[in-house]
Amino acid sequence: MQPLLVYGIIRALSLAERGPAAEVAEAFAAMAKGLRWTQNANYLRDPIMRAFLADYAYVELVGPGGIAREADTALGMLLISPQSKYPPHRHPAQEVYLVLAGEANWWREGEPWRILPAAALVHHEPNVAHAMRTLNQPLLALYAWRGEIGTAARLVGN
């Protein structure tokens, strides 16, 4: 994992442990060092995503590759470094985020950008394009995917 992401995890957990989702963050922090952070394979092959790859990672806790195996549910943590943009993308799984640390701008197809703070819940219906832009803090969010989780997210036009 990139050194910037390691620093981002430490900083995000520190922020989260002082925020409204502190109990979730503390439980996650207890196991964070031993987890296998990864990145979307579709993004690894996309030259447009090279810069973003240095700024993002996720860990699957529950799901096909998680500590607890599930076929149609995934639960994990997403980390995005400060001042980063997760470009518009979509996937067939339904998705919910609980923001643990960091304010970020969130966008969903057909809606304006909006700033959401820690403890905010974000819901994306299947195949609806969405994106995120972090501000001055790393974004750490608990995510849940339900449904067709075997199909990774794909970028869509900006």
Stretch among 19-28, 40-49, 123-132, 135-144 having the lowest mean pLDDT: 19-28
What are the tokens at 66? 């998680």
Share of the chain above pLDDT 70, in %: 82
Share of the chain above pLDDT 90, in %: 44
Confidence (pLDDT) at 54 = 82
Q: Which amino acid is at 88?
A: P
Which residue, 144, 148, 106, 111, is CA-closest to 127?
Answer: 148
Confidence (pLDDT) at 15 = 65
Domains and CATH numbers, the chain: 3-155 (2.60.120.10)
pLDDT tens per residue across span 1-33 = 454 555 566 666 666 666 666 777 677 767 766
Which residue, 39, 146, 67, 144, is CA-closest to 99?
Answer: 144
Distances (CA, A) of 3 to 6, 54, 80: 5, 9, 13
The rounded distance, in Å, linking the Cα atoms of 1 and 110 is 35
The pTM (predicted TM-score) of the whole model is 0.83
How does 65-74 read in b/e, with b if 16+ C-beta sit within 10 Å?
ebeeeeeebb
What are the tokens at 100? 């643990």
Query: Quick one: average pLDDT of 57-83?
Result: 90
pLDDT tens per residue across span 80-92 = 989 999 999 999 9
Query: Quick one: average pLDDT of 102-115?
Result: 95
